[in-house]
Chain A
Amino acid sequence: MEVVTFLVALGVAAAMAIMLARLFAGPTLYDRVLAMNSFGTKTVLFLLVFSALVGRQDAIDIALLYALINFVATIAILKFFRYRSLEIALAQMSLRKALDGEYEQ
């Protein structure tokens, strides 16, 4: 069983390396954000497999936290690059969107 788990961990690490290649090569910003998000998902998987490999439960807690932070970080990066600011409250987003639509027309 340990051999299979170890091979799966190696495979997930290889996928993470491929994602890093796309992160550095990605022509647009959105490619990079996508690669970063997918890299985070693979990190969560790697932590889970690692916790089974070394037989410690603590890594699962770290994986849980990492999944949460990964999601929030993706949304925060996208929000920053759309509004160029993190200070706009979410409640004002719809107002801002309506203003943007008016501006486009």
Chain B
Amino acid sequence: MNWGEIIQYALFAASVAAMTAGLVFVLAGAIGVIRLPDFYTRMHSAGVTDTLGAELIVLGLVLQAHDWQTVAKLALVGLLLFLTSPTATHAIANAAHRAGHKPHLSRFRPPHPSEAGKPAGKGTS
């Protein structure tokens, strides 16, 4: 086993780790978009996908690329996502705010299904 093979295995392991972590963040963001109560909070959850999930998947693909051109194109896509996603998120939030969409600002803690009958403190208010 020479150094070349060791480097190849290390790249393989790093690529698998980065892509798996990115997939976990993408799925967490998507589940958050379903679970959270109102528009402004869903926005934060979509941001998880747009930043770390996307960049980690791009990083994993860069680590398993074979030639420099693929690496350069993937880096360009990653840079583009990194620059445009906050702008798009701010544009949506600003449009909702200007249109008079009020955020939900009190504590949000839905009661657990097993204690649904009890008067569970502060609920969805």
Residues of A within 8 A of B (CB): 1, 4-5, 7-8, 11-12, 14-15, 18-19, 21-22, 28, 30-31, 33-35, 37-38, 41-42, 44-45, 48-49, 52, 57, 60-61, 63-64, 67-68, 71, 74-75, 78, 81-82
- Please tell me the size bucket of the interface on B: 35 or more
Q: Is the interface of B mostly helix, strand, loop or mixed?
A: helix
Known contacts A4-B16, A8-B23, A57-B73, A41 near B30 by CB under 8 Å: no
> Would you mind naming 27 contact pairs between A and B with Cβ atoms under 8 Å apart?
A1-B12, A5-B19, A5-B64, A8-B20, A8-B57, A11-B23, A12-B26, A15-B30, A19-B33, A22-B34, A28-B96, A30-B96, A34-B43, A34-B46, A38-B29, A41-B49, A42-B26, A42-B30, A52-B61, A57-B69, A57-B70, A57-B73, A67-B81, A68-B80, A78-B92, A78-B95, A82-B95
- Chain B residues in 8 Å Cβ range of A67: 77, 80-81, 84
Q: Does B10 make an interface contact (CB < 8 A)?
A: no
